[in-house]
Amino acid sequence: MKKLFFILPMVFMVACGSSQTLTSGKTLHYNFTQFGFSKEIDLKQVILSGDDLLTGYKFATEMQADPEARYVFNFYNGILVHAVQLGSVVEKSFQSIDGPGRDSGTIMYFEFDRVLDASTYTYLKRVFWGKKMTPSSSNSPEFFMSSNTLIVWCLPMQSEIKERSQKKLFELLNQKQQSQKGS
């Protein structure tokens, strides 16, 4: 069991789990902050299965992303460079999905040997979004941090698969919260 929480800039968050469109107008995002920072969940339940894919989507073996976001692969392949800020990698994996049109990309999963904190969040914003520390394009990665876990979505902002992945995580956290209230 891992303690998970979701961090995104406010422009990407949705208040109280209700839907809201972004400036792009199509992608739904979820407010994970309502669950607090100590919600425990089995991370393996978040990884997408074949049942989670829509018709026309399939898993791929190679990492993929829009050319504007390919620098994130350097993060994955060169994770040792970031060890001072993130700690040592205990485990890393990825899922790549081919979808219709431009809806293809990669979801990266990392587990570290130490807790990721607020300074890590600031560091990752710089790594993924540069000096401005905000997404600069519709293909900028989004990320999820937990006590020692990081998930990075390298998918277009208007991605159906990213929405399904985030929805799956949100529903698992919401289900966990409801079962704790009933106890």
Q: What is the pLDDT of residues 126-165, one digit of tens each?
A: 888 888 777 766 667 888 887 788 889 988 888 899 999 9
119: left (phi over 0), alpha (psi -120 to 50) or beta: alpha
pTM recorded for the entire structure? 0.78
- Is the predicted pLDDT of residue 89 greater than 90, yes or no? yes
pLDDT value, residue 83: 92
- Is the predicted pLDDT of residue 63 greater than 80, yes or no? yes
pLDDT value, residue 121: 86
Show the tokens assigned to 117. 């904190």
- Strand ranges for the chain from DSSP E: 2-5, 39-41, 58-60, 89-98, 105-112, 142-146, 149-154
List for the chain the helix, strand, coil content (%; round to 5). 40, 20, 40
* Average per-residue pLDDT for the chain: 75
CB of 114 closer than 8 Å to CB of 66? no
pLDDT value, residue 87: 93
- Is the predicted pLDDT of residue 3 greater than 50, yes or no? no
Mean pLDDT of 170-175: 80
The 10s digit of each residue's pLDDT in 10-60 is: 323 222 222 222 222 334 456 665 555 445 556 788 899 999 999 999 999
Domain boundaries, the chain: 2-182
Higher-pLDDT residue of 76 and 18 is 76
The amino acid that residue 31 corresponds to is: N
Higher-pLDDT residue of 84 and 45 is 84
- Cβ-count burial 36-55 (b if 16+ within 10 Å, e if not): eeebebebeebebeeeebee
- Strand ranges for 18-88 from DSSP E: 39-41, 58-60
pLDDT value, residue 14: 25
